[in-house]
Structure 1
């Protein structure tokens, strides 16, 4: 059973105040302004003085329904009785918007198994809590990247400089030209992992560091995007060389200590073990049930401190880090990065590799786990243990999912559905209001489904003009069609559409999608002259893979000269279409057009 942060649980809100680093103030009453709407994205950083404060969806100006639905789905993913829907023993989540922590909850168990197949006695199960400490796995790369940005600001490294300038021994085996930037953007040419693995092939840390330096790339630098742990392992060695300090000291002194992230770091102390989620039962290497030590074997071989893995943390600490990024690199007067550095982390350096957008350290615009929050500036990362962080500067929002999906074994289903779902829930909880106001028709639906919004019979005889406003935030393969039928709905033909507005497609497409676009479009189509009557429908179809926020329609009009024929014909929704009232006003089923 999940411990929610949505209902009036005073004790939970009190615990949030105590748990957020530095304490937290109660959220002020919701201010329903145009700023922060999903369809009016921010371009500037959040005010530097923004501090996280406890609240609810309503105090954050959000619709609680999508967040409640996400909580219900999380409970199913944490329930072994769910069969194929069971994804992880336990998880903790957090959602924040405009500085208000609107959701913070935990469910399932941080520790449940004695070995790969045997459950512990039930009285030894450890429930997941909102302050459970998780192995972040590859989210650790973000800490290494921020440490690198700090050294970039200090002038100790430079993006265009070859790594071999700092580590001459790195130049062997064709690596002389690899730059710092290519390490940070995974375009160095390295294979995904060290081969052989660091723990199998080498007896001690010095020999493992030499193995990293001696690695031979599999592609020429700058020619291929390939996500590789070797990039951050190499960057770790650079940082240690130019500063004379180990990576854990750099992260502590430059990130966790100034931000008061007291639950974040490598090799957590034994005293914190009761709060740490277990990961995998390992037989090779023979580590048994791993808890309190890094799960990743290569990071373990590096003594628990590695550029690619090793950091443990909580949702509260990660929330402060995320808000620091939204604030332009500062939190509570403590600056860890310049605004320029944060902009570099939001900038796509991988335009030569479509679909693999990457800033310095952070992944960008990855709908496969960012869901409805995906956009050109959206930063994030995932971790193998079942973790993810998504930061959306355009809405000043972020979502965090921490789980122990590898407990007791890594052979589990993908954690991507809940990663996407938390992003979709946050996106759908934010307001979208059409130009000139009024009610909207909204469809936000799962993959592999179709929703239709169909008119009654429309009198033809002359060409009919179709006009409407559309907010289309979907995966590129999830399309909105406008179709017409002259045989009572037996067959349908798509209409050519002309859309205008920011990011609108050029030409006369027969369908619309808008991955990453957050703008209303004005859309026009024409039904050719026909005899008798015709029908019109808006059809939104998703493929089985990913989804964005969905589709909103407003100001629907079908005219032949004067008057809106829809007022008489009416509309029949099927599937996920639902009519939403105008902001601040009652639902009106008759308000179809101007």
Structure 2
């Protein structure tokens, strides 16, 4: 549906400036305890947050954020937790947390941590256990981050080296052509391993000793360093290395090196029975015959290893994970307790997989994955997901992080993807942060959803000389979500894209006909030329998204159309779709 949003006054002068005056509500004022740029998404921070940054509760306004996107996200979450939503029902319960500049601006829970007796039968309603903000969840593959942090600690201590073959530490690992696989390749999933052990550890072997031998004997399916393939075998192998070089089991290394110094009291493997009332249930399993799994690791291979595994097994809460995330933003320290050096954190943020575009990876952490990071995605953004319905995204450039913990496998793993809420929480945080026009002034903004088109169109214009179109734009979109500037000489029946000249940090070279991207958070100045027209013409800005992923969106400022001679005629600036006018910026 086309919506006539706002009218623009078009000055009949040599410079035809689209003065964006109208009746839209002003954007909220922002402030921050950390200076005038608090909450600015278009002014990315460099380096680590101050080492003394400690998490504290606050409102979005306290952190210089707009509360509206965060409120909208919480309404979305309520729908995803509602069985009456049909196909939109994603999980029985979930807990979320969002933080910016050390301020926890969102922390909420909804739905149920325990609801089902088996795969088809609900418990009596009086036995349902609501999800809480302190509910403990099985993190699934978020556990790999704990293994990776321990690996970084041993790297800093000199007990392992990135480019040393794994077989140097575990000679028996060299079997089946694995002699050249390095520590670096385990941590970046470029070792050549298949995705999972075949056969599964719980199916093919009688005890833990034989299961560990199966990890050592695993045969790669690709030569090391030639392919990116996400594999649990990488972190299972890393676990054996760490245990060998330290002489300690992985759960002890995680406790001594991470959870104890950071006081993460609800984080660890094999949680005690005393915490069961706060633990979310996962899947009802019949093969293996475990019944409703609750308080034990969901992953069958981790369960077969006694609940302590390099790839899975850690349980935690949003509060504990928030401390870990802030520790990384702080450069490895929290409340005076250092668990990582600054150099180690930088290695986790460095993309070691540049040979595999789209599979950016630091040491242990995934980087720049828009499919679940949404609007927070960028070259430095760290994160990971977990099969049980968990995700953590840390954005150093905005000093923000978001956490989603759910029990989406309760009571069965045959559920829709959890990626929409994973992206939505990142998009909400990115859209809550301000973007301000260079030099100030009003904005047009669209953060529209997938599979939609928004247009911003002038009325009919005439000119006796070639016309220049100039504007500033902040573009944070998936590479296939495009901003285009077009002209029409037939009243809008057909449109032609204009070649663009773009300047600014990270601007695309040449004369592209569309703009996109999340790699650079910077304003660009854009110029286009319209040939002299015999009659009336129109200009429009068109933003189109594909059905898959979205970034933060597009901002436009200082829109102007100029010519060397007075421009007779005038017209309205008409918005359709997602464009919103922000007279005081945002």
Instruction: Report the TM-score when normalising by structure 2.
Output: 0.94
Shift of 1:582: 2.5
Residue 497 of structure 1 pairs with residue 497 of structure 2: no
**1:182-231 deviations in whole A, cap 9, x for unaligned?**
00000000000000000000000000000000000000000000000000
Cα pair 2:49 2:330 within 8 Å, conserved: yes
Shift of 1:553: 0.2
Cα pair 1:455 1:571 within 8 Å, conserved: yes
Using the alignment, how far apart are the partners of 1:307 and 1:427 within structure 2? 32
Partner of 1:413: 416
Shift of 1:463: 1.1
Using the alignment, how far apart are the partners of 1:574 and 1:72 within structure 2? 25
Shift of 1:32: 5.7
Residue 355 of structure 1 pairs with residue 358 of structure 2: yes
Partner of 2:14: none
2:577 to 570, 575, 585: 575
1:257 to 260, 263, 287: 260
Partner of 2:482: 479
1:70 to 46, 49, 73: 73
Using the alignment, how far apart are the partners of 1:583 and 1:420 within structure 2? 25
Q: What SS does the aligned partner of 1:533 have?
A: coil
Cα pair 1:480 1:512 within 8 Å, conserved: yes
Using the alignment, how far apart are the partners of 2:425 and 2:284 within structure 1? 28
Residue 391 of structure 1 pairs with residue 385 of structure 2: no
Using the alignment, how far apart are the partners of 2:547 and 2:566 within structure 1? 40
Note the residue ranges of structure 1 that are not aligned, 5 or more in a row. 1-27, 585-594
Q: What SS does the aligned partner of 1:38 have?
A: coil
Partner of 1:590: none
Partner of 2:5: none
Partner of 1:186: 189
Partner of 2:28: none
Shift of 1:562: 6.5
Shift of 1:570: 3.1
1:467 to 466, 470, 475: 470
Note the residue ranges of structure 2 that are not aligned, 5 or more in a row. 1-30
**1:442-493 deviations in whole A, cap 9, x for unaligned?**
0001110000001111113321100000101000000001011111111111
Residue 132 of structure 1 pairs with residue 135 of structure 2: yes
Over 3 Å counting, the alpha-carbon distance change for 1:32 and 1:429 in structure 2 is farther
Using the alignment, how far apart are the partners of 2:523 and 2:398 within structure 1? 16
Residue 88 of structure 1 pairs with residue 88 of structure 2: no
Cα pair 2:465 2:565 within 8 Å, conserved: no
Matches within 5 A, 1:520-559: 520-559=523-562
Cα pair 2:63 2:105 within 8 Å, conserved: yes
Cα pair 1:224 1:353 within 8 Å, conserved: yes
Shift of 1:577: 0.1
Partner of 1:367: 370
**1:93-136 deviations in whole A, cap 9, x for unaligned?**
00000000000000000000000000000000000000000000
Q: What SS does the aligned partner of 2:526 have?
A: strand
**1:232-260 deviations in whole A, cap 9, x for unaligned?**
00000000000000000000000000000
**1:566-585 deviations in whole A, cap 9, x for unaligned?**
9x43311100000113258x
Shift of 1:563: 7.3
**1:250-294 deviations in whole A, cap 9, x for unaligned?**
000000000000000000000100000000000000000000000
Matches within 5 A, 1:289-304: 289-304=292-307
Using the alignment, how far apart are the partners of 1:31 and 1:41 within structure 2? 14
Using the alignment, how far apart are the partners of 2:330 and 2:505 within structure 1? 26
**1:499-543 deviations in whole A, cap 9, x for unaligned?**
011111111111110223200000000111111210111000000
Using the alignment, how far apart are the partners of 2:464 and 2:114 within structure 1? 70
Over 3 Å counting, the alpha-carbon distance change for 1:273 and 1:173 in structure 2 is same
Partner of 2:9: none
Q: Which runs of 4+ in 1 moved over 2 A?
A: 28-32, 561-566, 581-584
Q: Which has the higher contact order (CA 8 A, sep 6+)?
A: 2
Partner of 2:322: 319
Cα pair 1:92 1:106 within 8 Å, conserved: yes
1:165 to 155, 165, 168: 168
Using the alignment, how far apart are the partners of 1:116 and 1:580 within structure 2? 49
Residue 561 of structure 1 pairs with residue 569 of structure 2: no
Instruction: Report the TM-score when normalising by structure 1.
Output: 0.92
Using the alignment, how far apart are the partners of 2:129 and 2:394 within structure 1? 30
